[in-house]
Amino acid sequence: MQAYAPAHTRGRLRWWIANDLDPVARARLDPILSDPDAALASPASVARRRVGRKRFYHLRQSPTHIDGPPQLGLFIKIFEAPRGGAGWLRSFGESRATREAEVATAILQRGFLAAAPIAVGEERRLGRRTRSVSIIPELPARDLRTLLLDPAMTCAKRRELIEQFGRFTARLHASGIDQDDTSPNNFLVSTAGDFILIDFERCRVGEVLPPMRRWHLLAKLQRHQLGVTYSDRLRFLRAYLEDTPEISRRAAWSQISARLLEVRRNDARRAERGAFQEGRLLERIGAEWQVRGREQISAREIELPRKQAQQQWVLALQLERLRLPALRPVRLTRTGIVLASPVAVAEEAQRDTPRERTAPPGAGPADSQHTAETERRIVQACREFERFGSWRAAPRWEADGNTVWLADLTTFELAIPTSDTER
């Protein structure tokens, strides 16, 4: 790592520090390098999430004085050693933290902004890596997803942001930067309006991306709704294609749409494979499984035999990954499954005060007469479902205003081919 220099060793943990780190930042970093476990156990540390073998912390900083603005903190990633035979062999090679630092350096060298680590650490025993650590400074920026969902943003500013992101993405692909985990969460927007890349674990830096790969990455981006209209998506594509007039917007959109269907099918396959694996989405509590962040959500429990409950659990996870309007999974219990309406899930995700209900979620709206708009949305939902399977029986729908969802998952049979062409 040319941009980093060996700086500190404590026990089996060896550190590399960014060469351009200023003395103030270095002094702030020294206590963490000396004893990272103590720093993560301090009251200032907040465990953000766990994704597989990765733990993610936010180390907050105290304000310089009582009335001053809070200082920006640090994000700390802990990558634990992989398990299994293949994982054991990989643990002798390059760590995920080291690779992340190298990719961030390559991105910076190509003229883009990136949230690069300021320190990388590795712990090894007899040459085998037991864990690696990446320390990344918090930046004065907001992620693109948050901005797009911000109700305070005007239509004009929103359109401008989407067009700027289209041009930025085109430059990124033309520079050979393949951000495989293409998501608005992985792009920050600074106060000056500059885009900043984050999370490089699946990113590759190489030659100019060929058209087929570009369409695939853009299809991944289309999975995210975020209130973006069809017109805004075409606006993004027009900005993306500004420097390639030989490619028509119609031809590009046709390619993206074709790949989007396969991307979504792959999402459903991954949901099935990960239905009983702890990670960013799921947590195991004894013999039960829980969707993280939905512990307090208003939901309904359905008593089912164990095998049938597991089947419904997998199907609910798949339908959510496909973004189909259906009851969402909350918990798989010993006696059945707990599901919630998409409205309740959205309210919990946005951390808004839920609307008061006089009945369980969906009970009142389901029994009320559907409006013409609701009926139209049900017809649309049926068509969307039929792209991925068929009906076993007449579907039963519930509604809250103009939001509709499938209330009985047993009426739908998902049909996803077993082939997986996505990298």
**Mean pLDDT score, 395-401:** 91
The whole-number average pLDDT for the span 37-44 is 80
Say yes or no to pLDDT of 367 above 60.
no
Alpha-carbon Rg for the chain, nearest whole angstrom, is 24
State the burial class of residue 331 (Cβ atoms within 10 Å of its Cβ: 0-12, 13-18, 19+).
buried
Mean of all residue pLDDT scores within the chain: 84
Question: What CATH class does 143-247 carry?
Answer: mainly alpha
User: Residue type at 280?
Assistant: R
| pLDDT of 68 over the 50 cut | no
pLDDT of residue 311: 96
| CA 292 – CA 159 distance, rounded (Å) | 33
Q: Can you say whether the dihedral through the CA atoms of 314, 315, 317, 318 is positive or negative?
A: positive
In the chain, what are the domain boundaries? 4-137, 143-247, 268-414
Statement: residue 268 has pLDDT above 80: yes
For 331-355, write each residue's pLDDT tens digit. 999 999 999 999 888 887 765 433 3
Here the tokens at position 372 are 């013409």
CA dist., res. 201 & res. 179, Å (int):
9
Phi, psi (degrees; rounded to nearest 5) at 326: -150, 165
Q: Are strands 336-340 and 328-332 parallel, antiparallel or unpaired?
A: antiparallel
Per the CB < 8 A criterion, the answer to whether 142 and 198 are in contact is: no
- Residue-level pLDDT at 11: 67
Q: What is the pLDDT confidence band of residue 158, given thresholds at 50, 70 and 90?
A: very high
How does residue 71 score in pLDDT terms, banded at 50, 70 and 90? low
Distances (CA, A) of 239 to 153, 188, 211, 319, 374: 20, 19, 16, 32, 34
What's the DSSP call for residue 355?
P
Cβ neighbours for 86, distance < 8 A, ≥ 6 positions apart: none
Whether the predicted pLDDT of 62 surpasses 70: no
Question: Is there a contact between 407 and 365 (Cβ–Cβ < 8 Å)?
Answer: no
Give the pLDDT band of residue 44 (cuts 50, 70, 90): confident
